[in-house]
Amino acid sequence: SGGRLESVAVDTWGVDYGRIGHDGELLELPFHYRDSRTDGAIEKVFGLVPASELYAEAGLQVQPFNTIFQLAAQADDERWGEVDTILLTPDLLGYWLSGRRYAEVTIASTTGLLDPTARRWSASITDALREKLGLPLPRVLPELVEPGTVVGTTRPGLLPGEVAVVAVGAHDTASAVVTVPAEVEDFAFISSGTWSLVGLELPAPVLSTASEAANFTNELGVDGTTRFLKNVMGLWVLIECRRAWTEESGEKLGWGELVELAAQEEPLAAVIDMEDERLLPPGDMVARVRALAAEAGQELGEGKGAVVRCILDSLALSYRRAIREACRVADRAVSVVHVVGGGSANTLLCQLTADATGLPVVAGPTEGTALGNLLVQARAMGALSGSLTDLRAVSRASSELRTYRPGALGIDPAAWDAAEARLG
């Protein structure tokens, strides 16, 4: 209804994949990364290839759901001989749209199979997995393309007429970071949603032993950039708590109502480690939050507000730690934090982040991933031109932004140090 459709592009979460058979069809439904099949896969892989060797080559944060560990968990599957190609989630959807099989580099950089310096599949990693686990690598890996590549047109009958299919920053965070409305280069970003991706945009990966020890990841970005970041559990924990409360009472609490309850609670009364893997699976999240607080010797109040406040305080504390670690390891300084994505609408979390980091926080755009996808498409189709800086100027002019200054909540800065010390 809005006029002629010129192009379409897909971005999704990272790491998950579908296996395409020789007939061009899926062999089975893809697994989701929160599945327990990867239990023990990290130890299995590191028992065959030292962790330090993998990090020096791929520079990826160790997480049980990384594609490399999912593949290791599936290594004994007898159907690998039937597999022609594996396609990551956005590329699988792109294949169904266009008929072309490819891997866009930003999503490929979540696999643990990519050399982020060369922006190519790593021969040493794929050879090791083939030799030690029998996986058919690199045979089943598709060709790589950069964001902004027009990969083809839609298959006949899918849409009215042929429409260009564009590979954008297919990892949702890569698209979101395109929209960071920065006017300076020394910024940190938080792509805040189900996950929180916290880090810096750099011209090249950081593959040092210090980076490995801090467990930072080097994911690729648009226009040759690297997203040097850490995955933090994010608002998933609050989403699961809300789900449990809804099931318990039958009443769906609004996000604003939950934030209001949290704002009435004592700040930093209890905090938890938001990187604890026990928070990863779905389930009774409220009980897990309470258990983690108790393990750290803290008493968490009985009401919902106390749980929400604990989660938001803990997220802000995690952001503070991640930004400081990123700056230390990458030898950078930042003057502002940009929060994009759904979490940018959480006013209390944004203010807590400003207080915790001691830096101004600029919140918005809320729909950063969708906007970033559109901006890269528009440039690929000739509707926009210029560099990443030019795209960000369009984002800035298209968004309602809000700035939060440190200290507005009156929390003693030393209280953040004390809260962090409680977690060890």
Catalytic residues: 172
Which of 358, 277, 267, 232 is closest to 69 using CA atoms?
A: 277
Contact 224, 373 (CB under 8 A): no
List the alpha helices (DSSP H) in 194-303. Answer: 209-213, 236-249, 255-263, 285-295
Residue 271's SS3 state is coil
CA distance 248 to 135: 45
Which of 334, 338, 356 is closest to 407 using CA atoms?
A: 356
Tokens representing 123 are: 């021969």
**Which residues lie below 8 Å from residue 114, measured CB to CB, with a gap of 6+?**
58, 105, 108, 120, 121, 122, 220
**Which residues lie below 8 Å from residue 47, measured CB to CB, with a gap of 6+?**
none
List phi, psi (to 5°) of 304: -65, -40
